[in-house]
Amino acid sequence: MAVLIDNDTRLAVAGITGREGSFHTLGNRRYGTNVVGGVTPGKGGQDVEGIPVFDSWADAARETQPNTAMIFVPPRFAADAILEAAAAGVELVIAITEGIPAHDELRVYNTLKRDFPGTRLIGPNCPGILSPGKANVGIIPASFFKEGNVGVVSRSGTLTYQIGNEIAQAGFGNSSIVGIGGDPVPGSSFVDIIELFEADEQTELIVLSGEIGGSAEEEAADYIAEHVSKPVVAYIAGFTAPAGKQMGHAGAIVSGSSGTAAAKAQALEAKGVRVGRTPTEVAELAVQILRG
């Protein structure tokens, strides 16, 4: 089954004619993702290796019926691209773009909630989603992962690869890997994705990879205790991060005494989630549970 993307995914890409956009779109297509179109204003009528390009999301939606959008445009255009895709009726928007202003993210989140409740946003500032053996949307290096029963949800890309690869080396695969991104106002939270994994038949174990800043991990802990029957193991990065310093991701910052890694790990452990001290330990915990 996997979550969010699979063999039924019909992908269209905002920013398909850009260098990064075309490179990763074609990579996704080689993996087997059904890429139906792209959007670049002013370049309608062109194509990227046979993928038709449209001037607007309305045109792309009418001509190619995408159910998934990937956003690769620069930060200052990204908010409008997301909303345009939603207005065209696309149900899933995956925003890779890093560096979108926080206020734009607030506007997008609240506009989607009010005007387009049927659209789910993943990201921004995320590596995308991979459902091994089915589809890849984004920049996750698919060759490290194979199909299996571990669902991964993470705020960080490379950390996901690190943990996922260690699980893969032990012989296990993934149902889906979902990067929710490192920004302060993500479209989807840990809770949103864990809910999907809990309902997904293929997923038997969930790995949550969090980091400093905000309270999404604490909220996930409460949700897991109430609603999740599947085993969850977690990792939190940033125990040594000083307060008040942004650690790479816009959302990775300890503000005063809130958002620390220690508080997040404690909140998860208090609800029975096992938290590994290193990425290797998380993988070991996962493998231990999978082997029964």
Partner 1 sequence: MDLLEYQGKQLFARHGLEVSSGKAVTNIEDAVAAATEVGYPVVVKAQVLIGGRGKAGGVKLAADEEQARTHASNMLGMDIHGHTVRKLWIEHASDIATEYYASVLLDRSAKQPLLMFSTEGGMDIEEVAEKTPEKLIRHHVDALAGLSREEAVKIATDGGADADVIEGVADALVALYEVWIQEDATLAEINPLIVTPERKVKALDAKVSLDGNALYRHPENQGLSDVENEDPIERRAKEQGVQYVALDGDIGILGNGAGLVMSTLDVVAQAGGRPANFLDAGGGSDAAKVKQAVELILSNESVKAVLFNIFGGITRCDEVAKGLIAAFEDLGAGGKSIPFVVRLDGTNDVEGRRLLEDAALPNVHAARTMNEAAERVVALARGDAS
Among the listed residues 30, 62, 76, 227, the single contact to partner 1 using CB under 8 A: 76
Rank residues 1 and 102 by Cβ distance to partner 1 and give the closer one: 102
Q: Which of 30, 62, 227, 277 binds partner 1 (CB under 8 A)?
A: 277
123 in Cβ contact with 179 (< 8 Å): yes
Binder to partner 1 among 171, 239, 243, 288 (CB under 8 A)? 239
Q: Restricting to residues 97-136, which ones interact with partner 1 according to CB under 8 A?
A: 99-104, 106-107, 109-111, 114, 127
Q: State in angstroms the smallest separation of the CB of 8 from partner 1.
A: 26
Q: Does 29 bind partner 1 (CB under 8 A)?
A: no
In angstroms, the CA 220 to CA 27 distance is 32
The CB-based long-range contact list for 160-166 (8 Å cut-off, 24+ gap) reads: 160/127, 160/209, 162/279, 163/207, 163/209, 163/235, 163/279, 163/282, 163/283, 164/207, 166/279, 166/280, 166/283, 166/284
Count interface residues toward partner 1 (CB under 8 A).
63
* Minimum CB distance to partner 1 smaller for 29 or for 54: 29
Q: Are 111 and 82 in contact (CB under 8 A)?
A: no
Q: Distance between CA atoms of 204 and 158, rounded to whole angstroms?
A: 23
Contact characters 175-214, partner 1, x per CB under 8 A: -------x-xx-----------------------x-xxxx
Residue appearing with tokens 């909303």 = 83
CA 1 to CA 148: how far, in whole Å?
Answer: 11
**Contacting residue, 34, 149, 165, 266, with partner 1 by CB under 8 A:** 165
Number of DSSP helices (H) and strands (E) in the chain, helices first: 9, 14
**Least distance CB 40 / partner 1 (angstroms):** 21
Active site residues: 249
Under the binding rule (CB under 8 A), the answer on residue 34 touching partner 1 is no
The minimum distance between CB 75 and partner 1, in angstroms, equals 7
Distance CA 27, CA 19 (A): 12
CA pair distance 33, 31, nearest whole angstrom: 6
**Cβ at position 46, least distance to partner 1 in Å:** 25
Which part of the chain contacts partner 1 (CB under 8 A), choosing from 45-53, 153-161, 170-178, 200-208?
153-161
Tell which one of 68, 119, 131, 154 touches partner 1 (CB under 8 A).
154
104, 121 contact by CB (below 8 A)? no
The DSSP call for residue 73 is: S
Task: Name the residue among 187, 208, 179 with its Cα closest to residue 285.
Answer: 208
- 85 touches partner 1 (CB under 8 A): no
Instruction: Give the interface with partner 1 as residue ranges (CB under 8 A).
Output: 75-76, 99-104, 106-107, 109-111, 114, 127, 139-141, 144, 154-162, 165, 182, 184-185, 209, 211-216, 219, 235, 237-242, 244-252, 256-257, 261, 277-280
